[in-house]
Amino acid sequence: MRLFASLRPPAEVLEHLAHALDGVAPGSLDAGPPPLRWVPPEQRHVTLAFYGEVPDGALEDLAETLGAVTASTAPLQVQLAGAGVFSGATLWVGVRVVDGDERALTRLMGRVEAAGEDISRLEPRDRHRAHLTVARLSARAQRERSDRRRRSGRGDRRPGRGPAVDLPAVAHALSVYRGPEWTAREVELVESHLGAGRSGGPLHEVRARLPLTGEQA
């Protein structure tokens, strides 16, 4: 099974974000498909750790290990804030701790990732950036982006079609975004069923909810 751990923002936080995204969403330049594939609102989450494909029988042990982590971690007062782009193709909104230890979320991510080190085949990441993915370039837009890069590498300066969407510009427009604050009180352990969701996307199934019950520092 394909597993990850996450924080899920409450409905009012996701609704506030949706209104902000409506204001910056680019349209298609022609009759073709839109240049961005937006993550459905019900699948928007703050990724803490991605474990990849793990054995079916590992779920119970992982949930138990994660439970020990969350039991010693206090609830976090957090907020969606700012935005950026990963690898030129993925638009994300950032997450920050409000009125508390700014590194508390980073430490939680590290401990949640370490909880899966005995079952995950993925290499641990050296850096952590708490984020919520909101959109990715469509397959067509990524092909056009790759074509422009190849032509540029060959020194081809012939005029061509401009980019389907300026993703850095969208991120810049969202850089001042600040969402409502909320208290993160649990970590979800989620199974991702590839191709089983809306429009052939993944379907997320929560397999365990692990409360953050540690004492405040």
- 119-149 tens-digit pLDDT: 887 766 655 678 999 999 876 655 555 555 5
Q: Of 128, 131, 172, 204, which one is the catalytic site residue? A: 131
Q: What is the pLDDT of residue 158?
A: 53
- 168-184 tens-digit pLDDT: 999 999 999 999 999 99
pTM over 0.95? The answer is: no
Contact status, residue 39 vs residue 202, Cβ threshold 8 Å: no
Q: What is the pLDDT of residue 164?
A: 66
Q: 19 catalytic, yes or no? A: no
More confident residue, 65 or 28: 65
Q: 45 catalytic, yes or no? A: yes
Kindly report the average pLDDT of the chain as a whole number. Answer: 84
Location of structure tokens 């708490």:
130
Q: Within 10 A of 188 (CB to CB), how many other CB atoms are there?
A: 19
Location of structure tokens 């638009």:
91
Q: Of 16, 45, 193, 204, which one is the catalytic site residue? A: 45
More confident residue, 49 or 26: 49
Q: Which CATH class is domain 2-211?
A: alpha beta
Average pLDDT over residues 16-37: 77
- Parallel, antiparallel or unpaired: strands 46-53 and 2-7: antiparallel
Euclidean distance between CA atoms 7 and 206, whole angstroms: 11
